């Protein structure tokens, strides 16, 4: 191996990680570096994991930790316990973690405690996003991961300000752009060719796509009923398609809210390309997902975020995203839907800077430029 070759351990655990690691692994390979993939197994269903590997051409994980679902503490502990020996064995120069799920935070915590012995460095992709809502598990994961990582790779220019305000040195922050958009741009032609919209019996721009999985919306029966009622109001004038996350499905059953799904077109969780096709063809997307707020902005599709706040405010200031009035009410959701469609029809903004399909190349460049001082290429 050449001496400038990097050994990089990349972690993925849950659905929103897979579209981020796919282009990073490809860019590492293209630059002649070694990308080693760890799947923690936080998500494990075919529809939540395997489909994404297949569609996005992600190699089989070099290590699969098989942790599965558990409480936050148990899931985090299982990931940490299973990840430590992998890290010690692989001995990478870089650990690359993405996003804000439990797998991101747990593996960062393990690596940061082994750093002194191994001289390994940690890079966080999607650093600096903040909702300032400590009730969100993801906010805790983001803050801890950013505090411990050596290199903070930001997806949008506003993220650096959040990190600087927390005392992170400017030298550790590097704006690389949004790596999810790399995947979106490669997959868009494939998504268009799937004819997903037509196969579902829908007409482009004549339906609304919805996704729901945040604990704040789906773990409380009243909150969940209010959102489903809001979707039902929208469904009085247009079709509403709802691919159902396993957490949401379980709670609908547990709270006996099944009849509230009758006015909606309910689907199993979709794979990446089908979901992209559904999003691109929609008149509007109603969602509590973080990634979909970004994808709708990149596609110029109106989006209503069904949350109290967003850690991705750039999708509002430079995108197509609108916050539904909080607390969520059925009428509020209906009004936000109509307002967002009207606003985007007037002026669809251009994509934010760095959402150009080349973030993964800039990530690899950042890893090369700041390679750990000790050379492990021979080990
Ligand atoms: C996790 C992430 C969240 C991300 C979301 C995307 C954390 C804290 N949360 O939340 O940030 O937006 O993934 O999906 O990391 N389940 C299955 N099959 C699976 C995975 C999960 O049935 O493959 C079920 C589990 O049994 C559980 C529920 O879905 O009841 C929730 O799964 P979990 O991974 O704990 O959290 P998510 O809500 O998916």
pLDDT digits (tens, 9 = 90+) for 245-262: 999 999 999 999 999 999
345 against 215, higher pLDDT: 215
3 state SS of 224: helix
Q: How many CA atoms lie within 13 A of 57 on its CB side?
A: 8
The CA 346 to ligand 1 mean position distance, Å, reads: 37
The CA 167 to ligand 1 mean position distance, Å, reads: 31
Confidence band (pLDDT; 50, 70, 90) for 373? low
Catalytic site includes residue 213: yes
Q: What percent of the chain has pLDDT over 90?
A: 93
3 state SS of 192: helix
The finding on whether 268 has its CB within 6 A of some atom of ligand 1 is no
**pLDDT score at 344:** 80
Residue from 101, 219, 288, 312 to probe ligand 1 pocket by mutation (most atoms less than 8 Å from CB) = 101
Residue 333 has pLDDT above 70, yes or no: yes
The CA 261 to ligand 1 mean position distance, Å, reads: 21
Average pLDDT of the residues in 267-293: 98
**pLDDT score at 379:** 35
Residue 2 has pLDDT above 60, yes or no: no
pLDDT digits (tens, 9 = 90+) for 5-43: 999 999 999 999 999 999 999 999 999 999 999 999 999
Confidence band (pLDDT; 50, 70, 90) for 347? confident
Residue 201 has pLDDT above 80, yes or no: yes
Residue 374 has pLDDT above 80, yes or no: no
Confidence band (pLDDT; 50, 70, 90) for 378? very low
Residue 372 has pLDDT above 70, yes or no: no
The finding on whether 14 has its CB within 6 A of some atom of ligand 1 is yes
Residue from 43, 107, 269 to probe ligand 1 pocket by mutation (most atoms less than 8 Å from CB) = 43
pLDDT digits (tens, 9 = 90+) for 89-136: 999 999 999 999 999 999 999 999 998 888 899 999 999 999 999 999
Output the pTM of the full model.
0.96
**pLDDT score at 342:** 93
**pLDDT score at 51:** 98
**pLDDT score at 280:** 97
Average confidence score pLDDT of the chain: 95
Alpha helices in the chain (DSSP H): 15-30, 51-55, 72-90, 102-118, 137-148, 159-165, 179-193, 196-199, 215-218, 221-234, 246-254, 272-281, 290-299, 314-317, 330-346, 359-369
**pLDDT score at 3:** 55
pLDDT digits (tens, 9 = 90+) for 126-172: 999 999 999 999 999 999 999 999 999 999 999 999 999 999 999 99
Among 213, 245, 322, 358, the active-site one is 213
The finding on whether 69 has its CB within 6 A of some atom of ligand 1 is yes
Average pLDDT of the residues in 330-355: 91
Q: Is residue 321 within a helix (H) or strand (E), and if so which, with residue range? A: strand 321-323
């Amino acid at each position: 191996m050449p001496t400038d070759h990097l050994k990089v351990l990349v972690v993925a655990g849950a659905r929103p990680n897979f579209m981020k690691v796919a282009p990073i692994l490809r860019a590492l390979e293209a630059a002649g570096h070694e990308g080693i993939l760890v799947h923690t197994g936080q998500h494990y269903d075919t529809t939540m994991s395997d489909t994404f590997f297949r569609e996005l051409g992600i190699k089989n994980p070099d290590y699969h930790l098989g942790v599965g679902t558990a409480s936050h503490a148990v899931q985090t502990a299982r990931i940490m316990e299973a990840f430590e020996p992998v890290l010690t064995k692989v001995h990478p120069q870089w650990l690359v973690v993405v996003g804000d799920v439990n797998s991101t935070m747990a593996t960062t915590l393990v690596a940061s405690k082994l750093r002194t012995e191994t001289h390994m460095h940690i890079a966080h992709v999607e650093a600096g996003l903040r909702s300032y809502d400590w009730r969100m598990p993801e906010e805790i994961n983001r803050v801890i991961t950013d505090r411990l990582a050596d290199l903070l790779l930001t997806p949008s220019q506003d993220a650096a300000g959040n990190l600087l305000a927390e005392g992170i040195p400017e030298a550790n922050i590097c704006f690389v752009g949004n790596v999810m958009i790399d995947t979106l741009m490669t997959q868009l032609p494939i998504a268009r060719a799937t004819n997903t919209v037509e196969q579902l019996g829908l007409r482009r721009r004549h339906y609304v796509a919805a996704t729901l999985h945040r604990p704040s919306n789906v773990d409380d029966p009243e909150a969940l009923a209010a959102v489903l009622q809001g979707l039902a109001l929208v469904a009085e004038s247009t079709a509403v398609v709802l691919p159902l996350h396993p957490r949401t499905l379980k709670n609908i059953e547990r709270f006996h809210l099944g009849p509230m799904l009758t006015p909606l077109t309910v689907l199993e969780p979709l794979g990446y390309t089908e979901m992209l096709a559904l999003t691109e063809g929609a008149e509007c997307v109603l969602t509590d997902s973080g990634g979909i707020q970004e994808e709708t902005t990149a596609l110029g599709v109106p989006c209503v975020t069904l949350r109290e706040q967003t850690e991705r405010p750039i999708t509002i200031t430079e995108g197509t995203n609108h916050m539904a009035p909080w607390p969520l009410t059925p009428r509020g959701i209906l009004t936000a839907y109509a307002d967002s469609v009207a606003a985007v029809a007037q002026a669809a903004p251009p994509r934010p800077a760095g959402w150009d399909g080349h973030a993964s190349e800039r990530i690899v460049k950042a890893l090369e430029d700041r390679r750990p001082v000790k050379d492990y290429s021979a080990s």
